[in-house]
Amino acid sequence: MKQKTILLGIFLLGIFLLVIGTTLVTAIEPEFIFRQGIATDLKIYCMDDNTGLPCDSLFNCSVTIQYPDTTLMAHDMNITRQGGYYNYTLPNTDTLGFYQYQSYCTNGTTGGFSEEKYFLINVLGEQVDTSKAMLYLGGLVICVVFFLLSLFGAIKVPFDNKRDERGYIIGLNDLKYVKIFLWFVSYILLLSIFFIAQTVTGFLEAGVATNIFNAGFWFLLVFLFPAFTLFLIMVIVRFVKDKKIEELSLRNIKVR
């Protein structure tokens, strides 16, 4: 029964990774890629169809931008001319995903719409290729596997000292320190899992999932030092206590 459960878990994990890997490398090709949460300027180029040259200063341009959920970020918004292009500062780059935009330029005599284009906002501000996607997925798999192994060891390794039928300590258990170490390693690996998961889901434009993993990552990061301090205190306290038990044992004093 356990073997069937393990095989089923491996099979489902394989399907999950295949779906993610396919999605990562088959996304829409964006015109620009911006990093989440960073103030960003969208640069739009205007060409005069009559001359085939960049638009001169007589042209006025506007832009319409849709969020990934198709709601409007900007509708027919005037944009500023800066040299050979027109600039629009995005008011919000917190939402992950593909944004559709289209510009309209006119000089009062001639004008027209540009073709519909896309820009992408993700957590790194760069396009993910096949090799990078496999790197992230491989790192995620490795972290998950080692986390499960570490967690299994942390649960299974005994913590208490050996006792007789009356509850007296008859031997010290040094594996308790291994148990504490494995709990801390599990914490670090879980932190790594949340970090990689937020990156992967960010590339997938899975906004809700990314926000959950991002919140989990920062929560674990904030408590990293307190957790380390707690584990260190546990080691010191148990070591001092074991030394006292060892000294009492040498004097033939039984300890519960």
* Those residues with Cβ within 8 angstroms of residue 37's Cβ, 6 or more apart along the chain or in another chain: 93, 94
Question: Counting Cβ atoms within 10 Å, is residue 17 exposed (0-12), middle (13-18) or buried (19+)?
Answer: middle
Per-residue confidence (pLDDT) for residue 2, from 0 to 100: 46
Taking residues 2-6, what's their average pLDDT?
49
pTM above 0.75, yes or no: no
Reported as type and span, the H/E element at residue 8 is: helix 2-25
- Is the Cβ–Cβ distance between 99 and 121 less than 8 Å? yes
pLDDT, tens digit, 9 for 90 and up, residues 147-186: 988 888 888 887 776 665 666 565 566 778 888 889 999 9
Paired tokens of 240: 């001092």
Nearest to 187 by CA among 154, 156, 234: 154
Q: Map tokens 């208490």 to a residue.
A: 160
Over the chain, what is the mean pLDDT? 77
Which tens digits make up the pLDDT trace of 193-215? 888 887 777 666 555 677 788 88
Q: Which residue has the tokens 């937020």?
A: 198
Q: What's the rounded Cα separation, in Å, for the pair 112 and 110?
A: 7
Neighbour count for residue 93 (Cβ, 10 Å): 16
Per the structure block, which two tokens stand in for 38?
């960073």
Residues 6+ apart with CB under 8 A from 118: 28, 29, 30, 31, 98, 99, 100, 101
CATH class of 31-122: mainly beta
Predicted pLDDT of residue 172: 63
Residue range 41-84, pLDDT digits in tens: 888 888 777 777 777 888 888 889 988 888 888 888 888 888 77
DSSP, collapsed to helix, strand or coil, labels residue 69 as coil
Band (pLDDT 50/70/90 cuts) for residue 25 is very low
- Beta-carbon contacts of 227 under 8 Å, excluding residues fewer than 6 positions away, are 184, 187
